[in-house]
Amino acid sequence: MDKNVKLPGTPYSSDDFKKGKIPYVEDVPKARYTWSAGIAMSRFLEELKNGRIVARKCHECGRVYVPPRMFCSYCFRPTDEWVYVKDTGRVNTAVVSYIGADRGKLGEPLVVAVIELDGASEGMGILHKLGNVDPEDVKNRKVFNMRVRAVWKKPEEREGAITDILYFEPIE
Amino acid sequence: MGRDVAIIGIGSTNYTPMTTEYSYKELMFEAALKAYEDAGINPRKELDALVTAAEDFWEGVSIFDEYIPDQMGAVLKPALTVSGDGLWGIIHGYMLVKTGYFDIVAVEAHSKASDIDNIMDVWRIALDPHYHRPIVDNVHMFAGLEMMRFMEEYNVSREALSMIVVKNRYNALYNPMAPYGTKTDIETVSNSEVVSYPLRKMDISEYSDGATVVVLASREVAEKYDKEPIWIEGVGWISDSPNIEEWDLACPSHVVLAASMAYSQANIDNPFKEIDLAEVDDRYSYREFQSLVALDLTNGYMMDELVFEGVISPSGELPVNPSGGYLGMGYPLEAGGLVKLYNAVVQLRGEAGPMQVGDVEKAVVMTRREFPSPSSAVVVLGR
Ligand SMILES: [Zn+2]
């Protein structure tokens, strides 16, 4: 900003807060949760530890839900069966982010994609990171329909979390 | 004014202190499946809109409305979340049907209180950060302040308050969905640990988890189904100023006004005479009396007489909380009003089994959104 511009009001700095020149209340909301994962998500997370992606199938419409749900959102009935889907798929869309959650610049740009997994119904899949993908390939749209495969953490390092898959990378 | 609105289906999970095995989505699905089956509708074809009542801080997820459609059969349908108790959800659903644009609307509320590790800290976030947080340590102190004023003005004995707890927890023994049914006695309640004097531990409802769904429909639609419709005859909801200093702490104005709004729509002149059943707020023991006073349901009886002479027992002149109320079913956060409404509908239909209080033609359901919110909602139901 142009330092010669005279703004109305009383100027203050963050230092003035520290020195107690400006009255304020500080309060930190404390809220902690232990979410019940439930039947569907618990099995999904457990299977990630085994290096597998599990889904639920609805026998009425044939949809294969991944991540799994105990109900079919479209038929409104309980889903019927656990099925495994592959850890390979194709990229539906992708994004390249150059900033982190705090808007700070990332050292390496982050590529994240919506991936339709093989064996799941159309439109079902996983939101995950892409690795070994040149950001230029997102910009020039080569990424569309790119075939990718999950790169897993070592079995002993998995903890039953979505991050047990490190990222998806292109299948050569 | 507008068209008539009926309740054509109800469904609920049981309420329990913990539901670690299910996600909230799975609880909602169970309640919804039962409600749609009860109504005899296929939500994918017939449901016009969904209303849920939920508070982000209870869920631990902000903008919680994004997570509601899947398990309710409401994907790609109009849906909205009311940040309030389930009874406010019912009122919003009722208004949607009244507009004429929606024939069948589902209303949902649930509690996953057991997922919250530090619930008293979450209550604290509701307190005014400048005026109240530095002074008041926990929300039960608000209840203590109100209880003190109420006991003073209405001359209530400690024994009568304890008897409310004894009654409601005994009633809950007959309610299959209630987890806190027990036979206790006045002495045990009166000697339970002091929380914020005069409030004792057993004066406070414990939390519970569960989900409840209610299906509303217009008269035209309701009359096509076999199930006897239960009519929503009047609704009222009122919010007072947030300043506790301004409240009528003995007889809350917001309850009085919400009741008069609902009664006038339902053409009720003499509530005690015309109403056969009351499911009212009993988050704290004294609240049951206070709710009855504000709802004009005491018929001139003293508070002690109401409970000791059996006026408000399941076989009395006016059965109050035969479900066990919050004291017996647990306080399920925003699902509270919906659970009370569910139990009133069961009674109106004559389907309450061992809980049935006789022939119920008209019922009133009332709850508050809890401290520090000075707000309440009242719904009058009829056959
Ligand atoms: Zn299906």
Q: Which domains does chain B have, with CATH numbers?
A: 5-117+208-230 (3.40.47.10), 119-207+234-382 (3.40.47.10)
Question: Which residue among B60, B71, B73 places its CB closest to the CB of A33?
Answer: B60
Distance of CA B123 to the CA centre of its chain: 18
In the prediction, which pLDDT does A14 show?
A: 87
Q: Which of helix, strand or coil describes residue A26? A: coil
pLDDT, tens only, B72-104: 999 999 999 999 999 999 999 999 999 999 999
- Closest residue in B to A73 (Cα) is B70
Closest Cα in chain A to B122: A31
Task: Determine the distance in angstroms separating the CA of A40 from the nearest CA of chain B, rounded to an integer.
Answer: 9
Nearest to B58 by CA among B249, B274, B199, B209: B209
Closest CA to A129 of A144, A142, A148: A148
Identity of the amino acid at B161:
L
Q: For an interface test with A, which of B18, B21, B24, B26 has the most A Cβ atoms less than 10 Å from its Cβ?
A: B26
CA of A71 to the centre of ligand 1 (A): 8
pLDDT at site B1 = 66
State the Cα–Cα distance between residues B326 and B284, nearest whole angstrom.
8
CB–CB of A73 and B71 under 8 A?
Answer: yes
Residue carrying structure tokens 């009664």: B263
Average pLDDT over residues B294-312: 98
Beta carbons within 10 angstroms of residue B161's beta carbon: 29
Closest partner residue to B26 (CB to CB) among A31, A32, A39 is A39
Q: Count, in order, helices (H) and strands (E) of chain A.
A: 3, 10
Contacts of B204 (CB under 8 A, 6+ apart): B140, B143, B195, B283, B284
Where is average pLDDT lowest: A23-37, A147-161, B140-154?
Answer: A23-37
Give CA–CA dist B208/B189, Å, rounded: 20
CA atoms B254, B255, B256, B259: torsion sign:
positive
Instruction: Give the mean pLDDT of A80-93.
Output: 97
User: Given an 8 Å threshold on Cβ–Cβ distance, is B23 in contact with A39?
Assistant: yes
What's the whole-number mean pLDDT along residues A40-62? 97
Instruction: Average the pLDDT over A40-56 and give the result.
Output: 97
Q: Write down the pLDDT at residue B326.
A: 98
pLDDT in tens, B180-215: 999 999 999 999 999 999 999 999 999 999 999 999
> What was the pLDDT predicted at A102?
84
Q: Please indicate whether residue A3 or residue B67 has the higher confidence score (pLDDT).
A: B67
Interface TM-score (ipTM) > 0.85:
yes
Q: Is the pLDDT of residue B6 over 60?
A: yes
- Whether A35 sits inside 8 A of B23 (CB atoms) is yes
Q: What average pLDDT does chain B have?
A: 96
Band (pLDDT 50/70/90 cuts) for residue A25 is confident
pLDDT score recorded for residue B225: 84
pLDDT per residue as tens digits for the range B144-155: 999 999 999 999
Q: What's the alpha-carbon Rg for chain A, to the nearest Å?
A: 23
d(CA A46, CA A40): 10
Cβ atoms within 10 Å, residue B297: 22
Per-residue H/E/C for chain B: CCCCEEEEEEEECCCECCCCCCCHHHHHHHHHHHHHHHHCCCHHHHCCEEEEECCHHHHCCCCHHHHCCHHHCCCCCCEEEECCCHHHHHHHHHHHHHHCCCCEEEEEEEECHHHECCHHHHHHHCCCCCCCCCCCCCCHHHHHHHHHHHHHHHCCCHHHHHHHHHHHHHHHHHCCCCCCCCCCCHHHHHCCCEEECCEEHHHECCECEEEEEEEEEEHHHHCCCCCCCEEEEEEEEEECCCCHHHCCCCCCHHHHHHHHHHHHHCCCCCHHHHCCEEECCCCEHHHHHHHHHHCCCCCCCCHHHHHHCCCCCCCCCCCECCCCHHHHHCECHHHHHHHHHHHHHHHHCCCCHHHCCCCCCEEEEEEECCCCCCEEEEEEEEC
pLDDT for residue B137: 81
- Which of A60, A66, A73 to probe the B interface (max B CBs under 10 A)? A73
Q: What DSSP line would sit under A45-81, residue for residue?
A: HHHHHTT-EEEEE-TTT--EESS--SEETTTTEE--E
Residue A39 to residue B122, Cβ atoms within 8 A? no
DSSP annotation of A123 reads: T
E strand or H helix that includes residue A125: strand A125-129
Q: Could you tell me the distance, in angstroms and rounded to a whole number, from the CA of residue A61 to the centre of ligand 1?
A: 4
Task: Write out the two tokens for B187.
Answer: 């002495």
Confidence label for A92 from pLDDT (cuts 50, 70 and 90): very high
Amino acid at B1: M
pLDDT above 90: residue B371: no
Of B116, B125, B130, the CB nearest to A33: B116
Q: Where are the domains of chain A?
A: 38-170
As a whole number, mean pLDDT of residues A114-120 equals 96
Q: Which residues are CB-neighbours of A101 under 8 A, at least 6 positions away?
A: none
pLDDT tens digits, B211-253: 999 999 999 999 998 789 999 999 999 999 999 999 999 999 9
**Distance separating alpha carbons of residues B80 and B325, to the nearest angstrom:** 28
- How many Å lie between the alpha carbon of B65 and the closest alpha carbon of chain A? 16
How big is chain A, counted in residues? 172
| Confidence label for A171 from pLDDT (cuts 50, 70 and 90) | very high
Q: Which band of pLDDT confidence, cut at 50, 70 and 90, is reported for residue B143?
A: very high
DSSP one-letter string for A2-23: -TT---SS----HHHHHTT-S-
Given a cut of 70, whether residue A1 has pLDDT beyond it is: no
What residues of chain B lie within 8 A of the CB of A74, using their CB? 44, 75
- Read off the tokens for B208: 């519970």
Residues 2-61 of A with CB under 8 A from B: 25, 27, 29-41
Per the CB < 8 Å rule, is A36 touching B118?
no
Residue of B nearest to A65 (CA): B70
Task: For residues B218 and B4, give the distance between their C-alpha atoms in angstroms, rounded to a whole number.
Answer: 6
Q: Yes or no: say if B110 and B211 are a contact pair by the CB < 8 Å rule.
A: yes
Residues B23-41 pLDDT 10s: 999 999 999 999 999 999 9
Torsional sign, CA B89, B178, B274, B220: positive
Please judge whether B44 and A35 are an interchain contact, meaning their C-beta atoms are less than 8 angstroms apart.
no
Q: Give the end-to-end CA distance of chain B in Å, rounded to a whole number.
A: 19
Considering only alpha carbons, which residue of chain B is nearest residue A35? B115
Length of chain B: 383
